[in-house]
């Protein structure tokens, strides 16, 4: 069993498991942090961004002025943003049989895997994962396509050139593998391969293994996966949460007794408690509005935003924000808000029960109804006529490099009254803000990451007790910035197996058993002998037939009648060999000695050993070793004696 | 007949027996007249209860206590003994045979009866002859905690009672402490016999203590605890001679117990040792060597958690033993020393010996948190020790607490030497954070710590800013900040950056999701405004709130916003804080600003519309503060105008506290108008010691401003009537809530006094002054007054619905004194007076007598 690790990002994993002749890809997360190296794509022409000076190296040896621009002391690539894809050279992607998706954030690289790679397999995901994943992909494509950029910068990627660039461009890894965003056609084609599954539904893969998604409590339809054969069980834990938010709670018990547990997607903010952050979010929001400023919340169009809106629903009145407009701007805003209301069966119990009242499970429906929350596909169109300040705007993309958020940054960045509140943990907020410096607007960083923290995961592992744990190497040491926090790492016995991008791990368990079926007629022919009460055994002679990972024992076909042949002699020499009988039982010492005496062997010296006894027949100069699982007669040059002794031993054993 | 009634009715009288006992004790007879003489029927009642087989256990218990009361007097004792009721009543065997001894109610009655009775030698002899000491000793470890505790108390009493006897009258040393309860002054016909009896009892008790003190198996730990409690109680009361005797007898067992390391016994053992220590008083300065030895063992050789408890107990006891003080302080500082890796105990090798074992204990989360919390609780005491005695300077202790707080919140890394496991135990622990913040608050008043102000300030702001701080932690952070700001007269070390950080965090917290946090923040703003002035870096004097937060221009808008908070507590706190914030400007007599007018409008709105009482009460308090702070109330039209509305709305409120506050405001109004007038007494002077029990007391004494104008009483009164004062007082008088009625009645009496005692010439003027009339409607309280007065004769009005009445006549006719008397007595007074009880009993009894006498037992009188 092998694990190929195609992504080094612990929360955007992409691993391939080879297990019992199947090749299973576990998630295909897309690392979008690479876009932070690019200039923002403004929706409305930005004089500031368009007038940025080109970067000129000090020695003047390179001419990258067109590709690289200098902004606020940093160098950015002036091109369509590109993403860092999962490793595609480690393994032939066309050999992948299935892809298991655990949540909508971990499927953004799907088109890069399934399209133009020869992939012919199936993708398994839950319905909300597919639908919301589609929304996120559509949004991404939309963000990119509506601000087309003719230029594609590639020269800076030249190794020699890159080495000369200032950081962080200089330190960017695998820049040659960075790719521009896919198009809608690829998205549709990739998603057409998705087959929907429900929680705990068992899916057979080629008869070899069974895969089954379990609720992971992180987002709508998010799942962990169990991959098991008859005798082995692998658990794949991706983004999971034990907090009571909107999704169905995490199913922990089904993870028990795994041989290997692959652990990914822990919280990226182990020291930031989501409740505390939510509180910070609300108070900073209220503080800004009261002071007459606007609040910008760069966020994904699905996920935490539902919880934020729910929290605000309760907070609006207590903070006297009843008259403040809340805007949600995204090409998929409407669908996202509506989808969240229709996936009742994937929601937590509280929300599910609301559906029977009947009431919408999320209170944002009421916010929309009362006109407190308004949503728009983009800043163009209706929004510009409805826009009222001070207000709160939720919009993407959290990287601040594309999407409507770029416009608001340009609009509000100059005033100290306004605040930008970062809630998504995926991007460093300082890097995200870099091209907008100098910035007068206040910045508040309250990342809300509801995924498991180290304390919770330690408790979980103690409960489910996997034999081995495999995890990204980042989890085996304290975070770089907090090297003293030994509580922010996994400490397990045996220690977890760490992986990094491009690792290939031999998973530490040997398959010992395989299920084999026996045909009824063959079974009928068996003659079991009871060796001890309740245990019978029989010898089987059969043909093992293996097909589609299913093994069957069939009766041995009768040999066809031997055609007359001239080589008769040879046939006579090789009669069909019957299998030797199997012996069982033990040789009782006293009785055996008595028998020996009867046969005239009297001088026997008995020596006790760790495994049994050694009988020294002194007169015959012969040794008989009686052990639990074997008997040896050491008798040189006296074949008759040996045969006699053998027969005496056999008298005490059963034959099968 | 009466006796018969009393007895019969007692059988059906449940639940009020103890009340009756209290009443009997309270209404103690005139000196020289015994209880039996006052109520001779009691004797018959007692003997019939004791001998009756049908008596209920609660009745018997009551009877036993009653016997104790009666027999406490020698003649009562003799009378009871003559009827031989005593032997029967105090014989446990008798109750056992009746199958009643199992009931704890009987056992407690037995103990209480005996203990009340033991006031004279005859009773004591009876106690000894009945061999009651044995059952009493058994009851000391009774399954019922109440019984066991009562038995312990009685054993102490018996020992105190008989020790002076057993030690002989000729002995020069008579225990001073026990002399009050002794009967050495009494003449005894056969003193020698009595001495022997006493000595035997003392020996028996001491032997019992010695025998039962050591637990033979863990199940007997509870018993040992009980014995130790008893011992502590005896030691704290015993004089030197008894103490010596006691320690000689049990000293060995105590030493054995101390060496045995039973951690459950640490606290009771320390109680015993410290009780022994405390009782060393007077001229005897040197504690018993046994006690000193025991204390040394407790502070040296126990397991760390026990050591901490022992050290805390010693530090608390306030004993002046230098060695033990140092030792205790060191032990209490050790956990913090270990966790923070700050060298608080440099050179203290005795304490450092425990470092390893303490470290092991700290690795366990529960014991770690518990030890640190105890340590933190007593740390402030250590800083108050004499400089040559304390292990380290107070500033280092403050530094250590700050360091611990940083570790708790993950704000700073643990030092390399610190143990990671220990660090994990305190990280995020709310309990440790709270204890540490309390310690930090307390440390503000320690000497030599002011140098730490900036560090404390910085950390507390970090705490206030921390997203994960829970509401209680934030509240405690605010409290600590206030304490530190309050004690530091010079805040010049607070940098602008710190001030800016504080304003920022306050601005954020006032918008917090949790109402508790908003409430604490608003309260903080109020308290800060209430602090006295501080000196600034340029040597000037500045208002603290102004200096730290920028004053009203920062505070007021935040508080005004908080007036709209959905949580009533926050609104109430905001109103109080506004009052604090504006007090200074009021004191200076500043003309109300437009902003203040806006606040007044909002407050009046709250008073009339807010659904919660807290906010409305706070509004009243606001106006009371304003009125009492402003130098010349009449010169502020805004204030006078709003006072009128407040009075009108306040007296119509549904909440009785709001009404009482309204009357407080009315009182201020009266004081201002009449003070200095002939016959008028200031409220606080007239009834200094009678605040009614449920009343909310004002946070500060009101300052009264005597007016120096030339107004006459009549014109003043006219003004007050126009302000609505009279309707407030009269409506209050007829209010269904007693505190309101009481307050209104007192104010009306003062008004009456002022009106009636004024010089004659002004009275005449007053009679003709139309301003001294008031109008009565035919509804509500006015209707009530009309009824009281029989209005037909006195009306002079023209409208059938409204009548006008002269104020003087009105206050004269209301019979205010009688009303005050009734209101002062309270409802409890009526229902619980012995007369009332007895009347009830008799009424119930006679009611039975008239009905079927078979049903007597069925009737239960509900005693309110």
Architecture label for domain A274-445: 3-Layer(aba) Sandwich (3.40)
Claim: this prediction has a pTM higher than 0.90: no
- Report whether A1 contacts A17 (CB < 8 A): yes
Q: How far apart are CA A105 and CA A87, in angstroms?
A: 18
The C-alpha of B468 sits at a distance from chain A's nearest C-alpha, in angstroms, of 5
Of the candidates B670, B586, B596, the one whose C-alpha atom is nearest the C-alpha of residue B627 is B586
CA distances (Å), A533 to each of A529, A536, A539, in order? 10, 8, 18
Residue among A269, A317, A319, A446 with most chain B CBs within 10 A, to mutate: A319
Instruction: Supply angle C-alpha B674, B677, B680, rounded to 5.
Output: 70
Q: Residue A614 in 3-state DSSP?
A: strand
DSSP code of A476?
G
- Report whether B331 contacts B307 (CB < 8 A): yes
Q: How far apart are CA A254 and CA A200, in angstroms?
A: 9
- Report whether A360 contacts A354 (CB < 8 A): yes
pLDDT in tens, A221-254: 999 999 999 889 999 999 999 998 899 999 999 9
The whole-number pLDDT of residue B620 equals: 94
**Residue that is written with structure tokens 């701007």 in the block:** A329
Q: Residue A394 in 3-state DSSP?
A: strand
Q: State the first-to-last Cα distance of chain B, in angstroms, to the nearest integer.
A: 26
pLDDT in tens, A452-473: 999 999 999 999 999 999 999 9
Q: Give the DSSP per-residue string, B758-776.
A: S-HHHHHHHHH-GGGEEEE
The encoded tokens of residue B789 equal 């007065």
Tell me the average pLDDT of chain A: 90
Residue among B511, B561, B565 with most chain A CBs within 10 A, to mutate: B511
- A575-605 in b/e burial notation, b at 16+ Cβ within 10 A? eeeeeeeeeeeebeeeebbebbeeeebeebe
* Residues in B touching A277 (Cβ below 8 Å): 467
The domain made up of A2-35+51-266+453-506 is a member of CATH 3.30.70.890: no
* Residues in B touching A279 (Cβ below 8 Å): 467, 512-514
The whole-number pLDDT of residue B826 equals: 58
Answer whether A271 sits within 8 Å of B410, measured CB to CB. yes
The whole-number pLDDT of residue B778 equals: 60
Answer whether B511 sits within 8 Å of A320, measured CB to CB. no
Q: Residue A247 in 3-state DSSP?
A: strand
Answer whether A283 sits within 8 Å of B511, measured CB to CB. yes
Q: Give the DSSP per-residue string, A112-171.
A: HHHSSS----EEEE-HHHHHHHHHHHHHHHHHHHTS-------GGGSHHHHHHSPTTTTT
For residue A206, how many C-alpha atoms fall within 13 Å in the half-sphere facing its CB? 16
- Report whether B275 contacts B235 (CB < 8 A): yes
Q: What is the mean pLDDT of residues A522-549?
A: 87
Q: Is the pLDDT of residue A512 over 50?
A: yes
Q: How far apart are CA B58 and CA B52, in angstroms?
A: 13
* Residues in B touching A486 (Cβ below 8 Å): 420
Helix axes B57-71, B74-82, angle to 10 degrees: 130
Q: How far apart are CA B477 and CA B691, in angstroms?
A: 34
Answer whether B410 sits within 8 Å of A485, measured CB to CB. yes
pLDDT in tens, A134-143: 999 999 999 9
Q: How far apart are CA B312 and CA B374, in angstroms?
A: 8
Chain-centroid distance of CA B177 in Å reads: 28
Spatial CB neighbours of A19, under 8 Å, sequence gap ≥ 6:
A1, A208, A209, A227, A229, A232, A234
Runs of H (alpha helix) within A69-119: 110-114
Of the candidates B68, B214, B93, the one whose C-alpha atom is nearest the C-alpha of residue B150 is B68
The whole-number pLDDT of residue B180 equals: 40
Residue among A295, A318, A459 with most chain B CBs within 10 A, to mutate: A318
**More confident of the two residues A620 and A376:** A376
**Cis omega (within 30 of 0) on the bond before A278?**
no
Q: How far apart are CA B383 and CA A41, in angstroms?
A: 62
Q: What is the mean pLDDT of residues A103-125?
A: 96
Number of CB pairs, chain A paired with chain B, less than 8 A apart: 56
**Residue that is written with structure tokens 């270990």 in the block:** B338
The radius of gyration computed from the CA coordinates of chain A, to the nearest angstrom, equals: 35
Minimal Cβ distance to B511: which of A290, A311, A317: A290
Q: Is the pLDDT of residue A565 over 80?
A: no
Runs of H (alpha helix) within B17-103: 17-26, 35-38, 41-51, 57-71, 74-82, 85-89, 92-97
Of the candidates B750, B738, B761, B608, the one whose C-alpha atom is nearest the C-alpha of residue B669 is B750
Q: Counting every residue, how long is chain A?
A: 656
Going by their DSSP bridges, the two strands A373-376 and A326-329 should be labelled as parallel
The encoded tokens of residue B126 equal 């009876």
pLDDT in tens, B431-487: 999 999 999 999 999 998 988 999 999 999 999 999 989 999 999 999 999 999 988
Of the candidates A181, A35, A21, the one whose C-alpha atom is nearest the C-alpha of residue A115 is A181
Answer whether A318 sits within 8 Å of B513, measured CB to CB. yes
For residue A284, the chain B residue with the least C-alpha distance is: B508
* Residues in B touching A290 (Cβ below 8 Å): 511, 561
- Judged on CB neighbours under 10 Å (0-12, 13-18, 19+), A228 is buried
- Report whether A364 contacts A373 (CB < 8 A): yes
Residues of chain A in Cβ contact (below 8 Å) with chain B: 271-273, 275-280, 282-287, 290, 311, 315, 317-320, 446, 482, 484-487
* Residues in A touching B561 (Cβ below 8 Å): 290, 320
- Report whether B178 contacts B237 (CB < 8 A): yes
For residue B508, the chain A residue with the least C-alpha distance is: A283
For residue B618, how many C-alpha atoms fall within 13 Å in the half-sphere facing its CB? 26
- Judged on CB neighbours under 10 Å (0-12, 13-18, 19+), B154 is buried
Q: Is the pLDDT of residue A216 over 90?
A: yes
Q: Residue B223 in 3-state DSSP?
A: helix
Q: How far apart are CA A547 and CA A439, in angstroms?
A: 67
3-state helix/strand/coil string of A491-519: CCCCCCEEECCCCEEECCCCCCCCCEEEC
Look at the alpha carbons of A640, A644, A650, A656 in this order and tell me if their dihedral is positive or negative: positive
Of the candidates B778, B840, B770, B834, the one whose C-alpha atom is nearest the C-alpha of residue B807 is B770
Going by their DSSP bridges, the two strands A260-263 and A223-228 should be labelled as unpaired
Q: Predicted confidence band at A609 (pLDDT cuts at 50, 70, 90)?
A: confident
Q: What residues are paired with B775 via a beta bridge?
A: B804
Spatial CB neighbours of B261, under 8 Å, sequence gap ≥ 6:
B302, B303, B306
The whole-number pLDDT of residue B519 equals: 96
Q: How far apart are CA B438 and CA B141, in angstroms?
A: 39
**Residue that is written with structure tokens 């992971």 in the block:** A216
Q: How far apart are CA A340 and CA B130, in angstroms?
A: 84
Minimal Cβ distance to A286: which of B414, B420, B511: B511
Answer whether A284 sits within 8 Å of B508, measured CB to CB. yes
Of the candidates B315, B235, B328, the one whose C-alpha atom is nearest the C-alpha of residue B275 is B235
Locate the domains of chain A by residue range. Answer: 2-35+51-266+453-506, 274-445, 583-655
Locate the domains of chain B by residue range. Answer: 302-448, 817-848
For residue B390, which phi and psi values (nearest 5 degrees)?
-80, 150
- A524-550 in b/e burial notation, b at 16+ Cβ within 10 A? eeeeeeeeeeeeeeeeeebeeeeeebe
* Residues in A touching B468 (Cβ below 8 Å): 273, 275-276
The C-alpha of B418 sits at a distance from chain A's nearest C-alpha, in angstroms, of 11
Determine which helix (DSSP H) or strand (DSSP E) holds B106, and give its type and residue range. helix B104-117
The encoded tokens of residue A394 equal 């939720």
The whole-number pLDDT of residue A1 equals: 87
Q: Domain A583-655 maps to which CATH number in 3.40.120, 3.30.310, 1.10.3470, 3.90.380?
A: 3.30.310
Residues in chain B with pLDDT values less than 50: 1-15, 28-30, 168-189, 282-284, 684-710, 761-771, 793-798, 830, 853-864
Determine which helix (DSSP H) or strand (DSSP E) holds A328, and give its type and residue range. strand A326-329
The encoded tokens of residue B454 equal 């900036």
The whole-number pLDDT of residue B816 equals: 85
Of the candidates B738, B729, B576, B572, the one whose C-alpha atom is nearest the C-alpha of residue B651 is B729
The C-alpha of A273 sits at a distance from chain B's nearest C-alpha, in angstroms, of 7
The C-alpha of A624 sits at a distance from chain B's nearest C-alpha, in angstroms, of 59
Answer whether A487 sits within 8 Å of B424, measured CB to CB. yes
Answer whether A278 sits within 8 Å of B513, measured CB to CB. yes
Runs of H (alpha helix) within A380-479: 382-386, 405-412, 429-433, 454-464
Q: How far apart are CA A324 and CA A290, in angstroms?
A: 10
For residue B563, the chain A residue with the least C-alpha distance is: A320
For residue B566, the chain A residue with the least C-alpha distance is: A318
- Judged on CB neighbours under 10 Å (0-12, 13-18, 19+), B15 is exposed
Of the candidates B465, B467, B460, the one whose C-alpha atom is nearest the C-alpha of residue B483 is B460
């Amino acid at each position: 069993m092998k694990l190929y690790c195609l992504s080094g990002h612990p929360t955007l994993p992409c691993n391939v498991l080879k297990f019992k002749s199947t090749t299973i890809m576990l998630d295909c997360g897309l690392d979008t942090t690479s876009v932070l190296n690019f200039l923002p794509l403004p929706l409305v022409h930005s004089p500031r961004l368009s007038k940025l000076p080109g970067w000129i190296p000090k020695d003047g040896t390179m001419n990258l002025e067109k590709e690289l621009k200098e902004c606020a002391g940093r160098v950015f690539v002036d091109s369509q943003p590109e993403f860092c894809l999962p490793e595609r050279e480690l393994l032939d992607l066309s050999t992948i049989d299935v892809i298991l998706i655990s949540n909508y954030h971990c499927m953004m690289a799907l088109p890069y895997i399934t399209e133009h790679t020869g992939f012919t397999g199936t993708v398994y995901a839950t319905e909300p994962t597919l639908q919301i994943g589609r929304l996120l992909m559509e949004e991404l494509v939309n963000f990119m396509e509506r601000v087309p950029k003719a230029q594609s910068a590639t020269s800076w990627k030249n190794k020699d050139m890159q080495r000369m660039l200032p950081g962080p461009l200089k330190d960017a890894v695998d820049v040659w593998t960075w790719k521009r965003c896919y198009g809608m056609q690829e998205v549709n084609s990739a998603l057409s391969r998705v087959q929907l599954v429900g929680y705990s539904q068992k899916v057979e893969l080629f008869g070899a293994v069974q895969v089954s998604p379990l609720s992971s409590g992180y987002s709508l339809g998010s799942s962990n996966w169990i991959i098991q054969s008859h005798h082995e069980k692998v658990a794949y834990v991706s983004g999971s949460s034990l907090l009571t938010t909107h999704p169905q709670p995490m199913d922990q018990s089904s993870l028990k007794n795994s041989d290997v547990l692959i652990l990914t997607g822990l919280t990226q903010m182990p020291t930031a408690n989501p409740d505390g952050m939510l509180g910070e979010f609300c108070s900073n929001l209220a503080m800004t509005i009261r002071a007459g400023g606007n609040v910008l919340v760069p966020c994904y169009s699905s996920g935490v935003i539902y919880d934020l809106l729910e929290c605000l629903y309760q907070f609006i009145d207590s903070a006297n924000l009843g008259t403040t407009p809340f805007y949600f701007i995204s090409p998929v805003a409407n669908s996202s808000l509506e989808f969240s209301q229709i996936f009742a069966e994937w929601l937590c119990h509280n929300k599910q029960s609301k559906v029977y009242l009947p009431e919408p499970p999320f209170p944002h429906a009421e916010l929309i109804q009362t006109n407190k929350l308004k949503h728009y596909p983009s800043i163009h169109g209706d929004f510009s006529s409805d826009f009222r300040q001070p207000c709160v705007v939720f919009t993407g993309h959290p990287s601040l490099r594309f999407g409507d958020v770029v416009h608001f940054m340009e609009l509000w960045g100059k005033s100290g009254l306004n605040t930008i509140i970062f809630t998504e943990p995926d991007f460093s907020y300082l890097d995200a803000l870099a091209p907008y410096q100098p910035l007068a607007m206040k910045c508040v960083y309250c990342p809300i990451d509801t995924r498991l923290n180290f304390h919770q995961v330690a408790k979980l592992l103690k409960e489910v007790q996997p034999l081995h744990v495999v995890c990204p190497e980042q989890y085996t040491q304290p975070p770089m910035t907090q090297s003293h926090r030994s509580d922010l790492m996994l400490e397990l016995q045996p220690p977890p197996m760490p992986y990094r991008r491009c690792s290939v791990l031999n998973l530490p368990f040997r398959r010992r058993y395989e299920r084999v079926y026996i045909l009824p007629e063959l079974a009928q022919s068996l003659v079991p002998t009871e060796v001890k009460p309740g245990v019978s055994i029989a010898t089987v002679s059969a043909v093992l037939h293996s097909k589609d990972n299913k093994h069957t024992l069939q009766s041995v076909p009768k040999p066809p009648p031997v055609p007359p042949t001239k080589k008769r002699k040879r046939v006579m020499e090789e009669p069909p060999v019957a299998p030797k009988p199997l012996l069982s039982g033990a040789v009782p010492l006293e009785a055996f000695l008595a028998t020996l005496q009867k046969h005239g062997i009297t001088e026997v010296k008995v020596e006790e050993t760790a495994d049994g006894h050694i009988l020294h027949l002194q007169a015959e100069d012969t040794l008989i070793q009686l052990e639990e699982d074997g008997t040896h007669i050491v008798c040189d040059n006296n074949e008759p004696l040996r045969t006699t002794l053998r027969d005496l031993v056999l008298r005490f054993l059963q034959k099968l | 007949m009466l006796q018969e009634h009393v007895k019969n009715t007692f059988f059906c009288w449940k639940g009020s027996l103890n009340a009756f006992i209290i009443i009997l004790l309270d209404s103690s007879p005139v000196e020289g007249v015994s209880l039996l003489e006052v109520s001779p029927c009691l004797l018959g009642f007692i003997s019939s209860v004791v001998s009756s087989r049908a008596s209920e256990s609660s009745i018997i218990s009551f009877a036993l206590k009653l016997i104790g009361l009666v027999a406490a007097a020698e003649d009562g004792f003799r009378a009871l003994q003559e009827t031989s009721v005593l032997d029967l009543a105090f014989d446990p065997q008798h109750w056992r045979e009746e199958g009643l001894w199992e009931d704890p109610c009987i056992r407690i009655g037995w103990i209480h009866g005996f203990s009340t009775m033991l006031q004279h030698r005859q009773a004591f002899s009876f106690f000894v002859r009945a061999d009651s000491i044995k059952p009493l000793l058994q009851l000391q470890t009774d399954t019922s905690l109440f019984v066991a505790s009562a038995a312990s108390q009685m054993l102490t009493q018996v020992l105190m009672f008989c020790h002076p006897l057993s030690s002989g009258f000729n002995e020069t040393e008579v225990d001073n402490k026990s002399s009050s309860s002794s009967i050495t002054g009494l003449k005894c016909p056969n003193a020698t016999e009595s001495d022997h009896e006493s000595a035997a009892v003392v020996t028996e008790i001491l032997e019992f203590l010695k025998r039962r003190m050591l637990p033979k198996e863990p199940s007997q730990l509870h018993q040992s605890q009980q014995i130790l409690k008893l011992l502590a109680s005896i030691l704290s009361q015993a004089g030197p001679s008894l103490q010596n005797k006691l320690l000689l007898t049990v000293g060995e067992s105590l030493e054995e117990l101390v060496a045995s390391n039973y951690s459950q016994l640490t606290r009771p053992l320390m109680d015993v040792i410290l009780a022994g220590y405390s009782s060393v008083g007077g001229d005897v300065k040197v504690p018993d060597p046994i006690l000193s030895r025991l204390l040394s063992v407790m502070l040296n050789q126990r397991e760390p958690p026990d050591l901490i408890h022992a050290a805390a107990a010693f530090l608390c006891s306030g004993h002046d033993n230098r060695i033990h003080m140092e030792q205790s302080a060191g032990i209490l500082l050790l956990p913090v020393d270990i966790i923070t890796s700050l060298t608080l105990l440099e050179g203290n090798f005795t304490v450092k010996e425990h470092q390893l074992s303490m470290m092991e204990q700290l690795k366990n989360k529960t014991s770690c948190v518990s030890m640190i919390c105890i340590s933190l609780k007593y740390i402030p005491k250590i800083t108050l020790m004499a400089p040559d005695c304390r292990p380290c300077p107070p500033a280092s202790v403050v530094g250590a607490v700050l360091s611990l707080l940083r570790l708790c919140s993950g704000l700073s890394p643990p030092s390399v030497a610190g143990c990671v496991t220990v660090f994990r135990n305190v990280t995020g622990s709310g309990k440790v954070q709270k204890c540490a913040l309390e310690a930090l608050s307390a440390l503000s008043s320690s000497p030599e710590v002011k140098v730490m102000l900036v560090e404390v300030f910085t950390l507390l702001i970090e705490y206030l800013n921390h997203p994960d701080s829970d509401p209680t932690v934030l509240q405690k952070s605010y409290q600590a900040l206030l304490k530190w700001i309050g004690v530091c007269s010079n805040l010049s070390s607070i940098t602008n950056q710190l001030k800016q950080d504080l304003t920022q965090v306050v601005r954020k917290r006032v918008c917090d999701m949790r109402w508790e946090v908003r409430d604490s923040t608003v309260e903080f703003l109020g308290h800060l405004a209430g602090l006295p002035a501080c000196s600034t870096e340029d040597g000037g004097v500045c208002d603290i709130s102004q200096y730290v937060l920028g004053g009203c221009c920062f505070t007021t808008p935040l508080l005004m916003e908080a007036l709209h908070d959905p949580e009533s507590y926050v609104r109430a706190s905001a109103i109080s804080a506004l009052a604090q914030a504006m007090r200074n400007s009021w004191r200076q007599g500043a003309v109300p600003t437009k902003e203040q007018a806006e606040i007044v409008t909002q407050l009046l709105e709250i008073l009339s519309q807010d659904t919660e009482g807290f906010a409305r009460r706070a509004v009243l308090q606001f106006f009371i503060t304003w009125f009492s702070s402003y130098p010349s109330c009449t010169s502020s039209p805004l204030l006078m105008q709003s006072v009128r509305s407040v009075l009108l709305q306040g007296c119509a409120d549904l909440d009785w506290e709001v009404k009482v506050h309204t009357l407080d405001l009315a009182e201020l109004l009266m004081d201002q108008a009449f003070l200095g007038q002939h016959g008028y007494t200031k409220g606080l002077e007239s009834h200094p010691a009678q605040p009614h029990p449920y009343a909310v007391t004002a946070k500060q004494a009101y300052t009264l401003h005597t007016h120096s104008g030339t107004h006459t009483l009549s014109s003043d009164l006219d003004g007050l009537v126009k302000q609505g004062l009279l309707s407030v007082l009269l409506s209050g008088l007829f209010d269904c809530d007693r505190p309101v009625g009481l307050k209104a009645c007192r104010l009306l009496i003062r008004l009456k006094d002022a009106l009636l005692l004024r010089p004659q010439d002004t009275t005449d003027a007053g009679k003709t002054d139309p301003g001294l009339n008031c109008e009565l409607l035919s509804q509500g309280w006015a209707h009530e007054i009309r009824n009281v007065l029989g209005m037909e004769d006195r009306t002079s009005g023209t409208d059938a619905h409204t009548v006008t009445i002269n104020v003087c006549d009105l206050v004269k006719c209301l019979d205010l004194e009688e009303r005050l008397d009734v209101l002062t007595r309270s409802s409890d007074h009526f229902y619980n007076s012995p007369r009332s009880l007895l009347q009830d009993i008799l009424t119930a009894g006679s009611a039975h007598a008239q009905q079927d006498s078979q049903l007597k037992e069925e009737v239960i009188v509900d005693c309110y």
